[in-house]
Structure formats: C-alpha cells, structure tokens
Amino acid sequence: MSPSVALQEMIRAIRSARTQCEERGVIQRECAAIRAQFRQTDNGGRSHNLAKLLYVHMLGYPAHFGQMECVRMIASPRYSEKRVGYLGAMMLLDEKQDASLLITNSIKNDLSHSNQYVQSLALCTLACMGSAEMCRDLAPEIDRLLRSSNSYIKKKAALCAVHIVRKVRDLGELFVPSARSLLSEKNHGVLHGAVVLITELCGRSPETLERFRKTVPDLVQIMKGLVISGYSPDHDVAGVSDPFLQVRILRLLRILGRNNEAASDAMNDLLAQVATNTDSTKTVGNAVLYETVLTVLDIKSESGLRVLAVNILGRFLLNNDRNIRYIAMTSLQKIVGTDHNAVQRHRGTIVDCLKDQDASVKRRALELSLALVSASNIRSMMKELLIFLSSCPPDLRAQAASGIFNAAERYAPSKRWHIDTILHVLTTAGGDVRDETVPNLIQLITNTSELHCYTVHKLYRALLTDISQQPLVQVACWCIGEYGDLLLKGECQETEAVQATEDDVLDALEIVLQSHMSTPTTRGFALTATMKLSTRITDNVDRIRSIVSIYGSCIDVELQQRAVEYNALFKKYDHMRAAVLERMPVIQKNSLGQTNGEVSEETIKETQPGKVKQEEAAQPQQPAGQVVDLLDLLGGSQEPLAPSSLISITSSAPITATGSAGGDLLDLLGGLEPTPLTPAPAMTVYDKNGVTLTISCEQQSDSGLTVMLTASNSTDSDISSFTLQAAVPKSVQLQMKAPSRDSLPAKGAAKLTQLVVLNNPNKVNLKMRIRVSYTSLGSVVQDTVQVDSFPGISAAGL
C-alpha cells in the first residue's frame, strides 16, 4: 500500500505544533497550499490533497472549499481518486449543501460501473448522505442491483434501499418483491441486509406488514439453521453463530408476531429453543437472549414462554456485569404494567440497584422502583426511596421527588405518614419539587383537621432550622398563619410541643420576610401569614400593624399591594378583619392525576354558595376578594384547567377558594373592566321530595348564554339514573353537555352538575322547561318544571 507521504508528513507537522496558535499556523499554510493545488489541473497528488483537507476538517477547521474538489474527484476515472472523493463527499457534503446534487449523476454512472468496488463506493455514499431527490432518482437503479447475481453488490443494495425507504416512504412499494426473494439467499451478508430491509418496510406500512407475515416460517427456518448448526468459522462469535443476523431476525419476528396469534404460534418453539440453548456467559450470547426476551414479551406468546423470559431477565439482574443489569431493568420497565407480579419478585434486587454507583443504573432502578410501589410495600419502599433521595444525583432529584409524592398520594397508609413523608421530601430536596406541590400539600393539610396541631408544630420547627427550601418555607408560613393559635397554645398530642411566644412566631416570620434567600412568592406567603395572625394573637397586634405598614412602601409591587390592602383592612375595614381572616374552609380534594380535560366543576360549584354568601355580605368586595384571590394565586391553585372549563369558571365569576390561578387571574382582569365582578346567583327552580335543582347562568356574548344546573339530594337514600332534559323555544339553540355524574348519593354527599349552552340569536324571551327523572327506592320519578326568568340576566340585555 503506497503510503501517502505528504499526508503523513502534514499530520506529523500538525501534531508537533506545541500550541494551538502554532497548529493554526501550520494548518493555514497547508490549506493555502491545498487550495492552490486544487486550482491546478490534473496532477498525481490530487487524492492526497483532498485527504489532507479531510484531516484538517476532522480537527474542526473549515473545509468547505473542498466541496467542488470532491465533486471533481468523484467523476475521475481513477479509483484512488474516486475513493477519496466519495469519502470527502460523505464528510463534507450532506443533503443540506447544494453541491450534493451535483454528484447525483456521478453516482448514477458509478452504480452501473463494471467494477464492483466502484459500485460499492456509489452505494455507500448514497446510503450515507443521499437526499430525498437523489433517492427518488436512483431508486430504480437500486432495485435493479437488488436483483443482480453479485452477493457483494446485493447486500449493499439492500441497505441502500433501507436508506431510500427511510427518506422517501412511498418508494417502499418498489422494493417489496425483491426483498421477498432475497430471503432465500444463502449469503449471510445478503440475508442480513434483506432482513433489515423487510423490517424497515414493515415498520413503514401496515399492509406490507401483512404481506410479509407469510415469511415467518422461512425466518424460523433460517434461525433454526443458525442455532442448531455446528461451528461455522466464518460467522462464529464466541460460540454463537452469526449473532448479528440472529438478533435482526428476532427483531423482525417480533414485529411480525405482534398482535397476531398465528404468527406468534409459529415462532413459539423457536424462541424457546433460542432461549434455552444460547450460551449466556459472554455478552454476545446475552445480546441474543435479550432480543429473544424482548420478542417473547411483545408477541402473543404462551405463558410458559413468558415465565421463561421473565426468569432470564431475573438472571440478568443478578449478573455481575453492570451493562446486563441495566438492560434487565430497561426490559422490566416495559413489562411492569402487564406482568406486575413477576417483576415484584425481583423488587429486592431492584431496590439494591438504587445504591449502585452508576447514574444510568440508578435512573433505571428509580423508575422501576416507583412502578413497583404498591399498598403492601409502601412503608419499606418509601424508606428506601427517601434514603435514595438524600444521596441521589441532582438530575434525578425532581423525578424522584415527584415519584415519591405520587406514590405517597396513592398508597399513604395514614394521613400523618403522608404529611411526614412530604415534609421529609421538602426538607431534603425542597428545591427540586414541582410548583404544584405547595398547594397540594396545603390542601392535604387542611383536609386533615385532626393533625393541624401536629403539622404546625413540625413545620414551625422546620422553619426555625432552615429557611432556604422555598416550598417548605411557603407551606410553613401558610400553616403558621392559619393555625398560629394552635401553635401558641403550646400543647400537642402527637408530637413534642413547641413553646413559642407570640414574639417568637412573629420573629420567625419576619426573618423569612427579610431573608435574601426568600423568593418574592415566599415573602408574599409570610406577609399574609403575619396578617392572619393579627386575629389569632392577642398582644402583638401593633407589631403586626407596623410590619404591614413598612411593606406598604416595598419595591416589590406584589408585596406592596398586599401591604397596602392589609393596611386598609386595619384602618378602614377593621370591623371586617376578623371575618376576612378567619379559618379557610376545607379545600375540596382534587385528585393529583387529573389533567386538562377533567376539572370537577362540581367541586368548584359546591363552594360557590358558601362563598357567595360571604361576598354578598361584604360591601367593599375588592379588598376582601383580592385577599382571597391573592392567596389562591399562590396557595390554592390546582392542576391547570382546560380552556372550556376556564370559561365556565370565569363566567360563573365567584372567587372561590379552590379556583385555579388562571381562573382567578382572569377574574381579576375581568374585575378591571367596568362590569362589576358580581358572582352569578343561583336560583332554586325545583325542590321536591328532597331533590333540589338550582340553576345559575352567565351571559357569554350577545346571544350566547351558559346555564349551570346543579342537583342535590338531601334524602336518606341514594338516587340513581338521574337525568335532566331541557326544552327551549324554537328559535333558541340548545346544547347540553355531559352531566358530571348520573347518581345522587344521600344526604347531599355529592352534587350533580350539568352545563347547558344556549344561543338566542333572535333574542326572544327565554324560557326553559326542564324534565327531571330519577330512580329512588326502586321507583322511577319524573317531574317537569318551567323556568321563566333566569337569574343574573337582565331582561332587556338578552
């Protein structure tokens, strides 16, 4: 092999440069020389020059001036030049460069060259960087080559076809017949290429997949040949015969057997054979076993085979090789949903992997552990997970924290355990929890009224220790504000009580207010908490008044606004202060998992009547409303709501304690407009036999109106099959949305709501007849009621 001396000398020169600057100098000189030589006509050293340029390119220096030289070299009749030219094309030209189109013709010519090595260069380049246009142009050529008698070319053409199908999906059809016939080849390279091509074709189009299902017996045959046949020196790798081909065939079988009983049956025996016969001492055997396991778990295999597969994964989990353990966990993750019990058996090993040094293994172990948490093992698993959380790498913290919260939410054995767990997470990884954690925790705390005392004592202690974890500080401030009286009483059943004076508590809150570590949100919490304490403590109200007035000139607009309003509450509206700052009502539980579509409108509606009373009583609504709003913006926000439900909430307007931040924001903005932020009153239209139906409406637009029907049952027995039907005058368009439920439990345990959208373009006098039908105590009851006037709608305005 003639060494390219000039190239090697240049490489030596570059490597001997001692500084970056020197290297740059050498390279600039060389590039200049190369450029000069490119401009000259044909000389013997063209390929060397281009090779030099490619080396320089690999070091990271610009080499675009070599693109045209590549094009010229590809067209050269000399093989050495073609070879380097094509290499340059693959390195410097990609489909984004315009120059790449120029080589299409050369490739086309070279594909039909008499010398197979030239053809191979063209095929390789096309498969590496062929653009969609090039692929379309040359697809027929490739198909022709697929049918040639030369195995060397056929195997390359097959992979080139794979690239073409990836670039231009429609061309797949073209290759289907040739692909089919390639399966009867003996040459392993061609077989491998054929299997890859068929895999790609089946992946792109379901019809093709159907057609290729018939090849399952042939594939099974080929595999059997590989597995059973003796030692074949050409293809053997550590005792496994052509593992690369085996793995690809198994993968294709997986695709063909998925969701298809017949195909899965045909491969059952083979898979069992491969699973049992493959030597698992070396990586190569494990690679084949791994692919087999994936296939078994994905097709409709019989249960014995599945058990075998899961056992193989179990063995992998105990393997010394970390790679194998990682692979095992990845696969177990895939089946933890379907074969949960099988995976549970390996829980111990998986939990041990949480302590592994390797970050990838840790991540997998974390995901799998979280999936394996169940009601029976929650306590032990949580212990492990909390230990993990305290020492886990930073990029996994957020995932671990939210996983722990989800698990705690679903399987908490007791409320106290739940609160303790959340507090533990907040102290360990407070910075990495999601924003919803704070309102969720607050909601949880308000719901556990028996633990208010315990919670506030614990949180106070936590606050004294460390105020850097913002979510924890926020929750602590909120609780101290709410339950400060319990804290000051100094006694607690569940835990050692904190003996704090009013000054101590106010000190703690002031420290939070003034600390540079507190975010503006946290400061807001602290200020509001301080304000709330004014009704819960007796001696230091003046101190609170002075704190509040100081912040009236704070730079932060949010804080300033709050302080000013609280000040107003002290001065002008002192008579209302107690009412405004009284204990928050219990926030309705909204399950954590709810996503956009499912906001329980009924929960928001249920607090509505209560809030309506509170606000209607208070004349100056704005400060009171805004106090509640601001609290909700930070404290009460639930999962983000879908736009449609947002509209209904803003339309129903009441500032509820459970309203979402988004909804409240809109309310606030709505409040800025001239139309007053009046809540829509609810009107009872039907009240018989303990069943009540109320309606409230909101005008959406000039002719549009939404009516919310709410039904409740105050009898002692449940009501089922509750349905509402509505009729309106002919010109009015009516659309009834789905009701929130279809039964009414006894004693008003839950309400039923249904939204009706009306469109009244002709502005006729709106009337509605509502038919109520339900089953109670075994008998069916039907009743009709007519509604002639709608609350909240001005007669003229409709």
Q: Rounded to the nearest whole angstrom, what is the least distance from the CB of residue 109 to other proteins in the complex?
A: 7
Dihedral sign from CA coordinates of 427, 431, 433, 436 = positive
What number of other Cβ atoms are within 10 A of residue 321's Cβ? Answer: 11
Bridging pattern class, strands 752-759 and 719-727: unpaired
Q: In DSSP terms, which residues pair with 708 in a beta bridge?
A: 696, 755
Closer by beta carbon to other proteins, 248 or else 543: 248
Closer by beta carbon to other proteins, 47 or else 535: 47
Bridging pattern class, strands 236-237 and 240-241: antiparallel
| Helix pair angle (261-277, 216-228), 10° resolution | 10
Q: Rounded to the nearest whole angstrom, what is the least distance from the CB of residue 183 to other proteins in the complex?
A: 16
Closer by beta carbon to other proteins, 243 or else 623: 243
The Cα–Cα gap between 381 and 373 comes to 7
Q: Rounded to the nearest whole angstrom, what is the least distance from the CB of residue 385 to other proteins in the complex?
A: 21
The Cα–Cα gap between 454 and 456 comes to 6
Rg of the chain over CA atoms, in angstroms? 37
Closer by beta carbon to other proteins, 42 or else 673: 42
Closer by beta carbon to other proteins, 78 or else 545: 78
Closer by beta carbon to other proteins, 155 or else 532: 155
Our CA angle for 364, 366, 368, nearest 5°, is 70
Q: Rounded to the nearest whole angstrom, what is the least distance from the CB of residue 595 to other proteins in the complex?
A: 23
Q: Rounded to the nearest whole angstrom, what is the least distance from the CB of residue 413 to other proteins in the complex?
A: 34
The DSSP call for residue 237 is E
Closer by beta carbon to other proteins, 357 or else 538: 357
Closer by beta carbon to other proteins, 238 or else 669: 238
Residues near 225 by Cβ (< 8 Å), separated by ≥ 6? none
For 582-651, what is the HEC assignment?
CCCCCCCCCCCCCCHHHCCHHHHHHHHHHHHHHHHHCCCHHHHHHHHHHHHHHHHCCCCCCHHHHHHHHH
Our CA angle for 17, 22, 28, nearest 5°, is 110
The Cα–Cα gap between 549 and 580 comes to 19
* Side chain identity, residue 58: M
Q: Rounded to the nearest whole angstrom, what is the least distance from the CB of residue 212 to other proteins in the complex?
A: 17
Residues near 495 by Cβ (< 8 Å), separated by ≥ 6? 454, 457, 458
For the chain, helix (H) and strand (E) counts, in that order, are 36, 10
**What kind and span of H or E run contains 783?**
strand 779-787
Closer by beta carbon to other proteins, 9 or else 616: 9
User: Phi and psi for 403 in degrees, rounded to 5?
Assistant: -60, -40
Closer by beta carbon to other proteins, 58 or else 228: 58
The Cα–Cα gap between 315 and 758 comes to 64
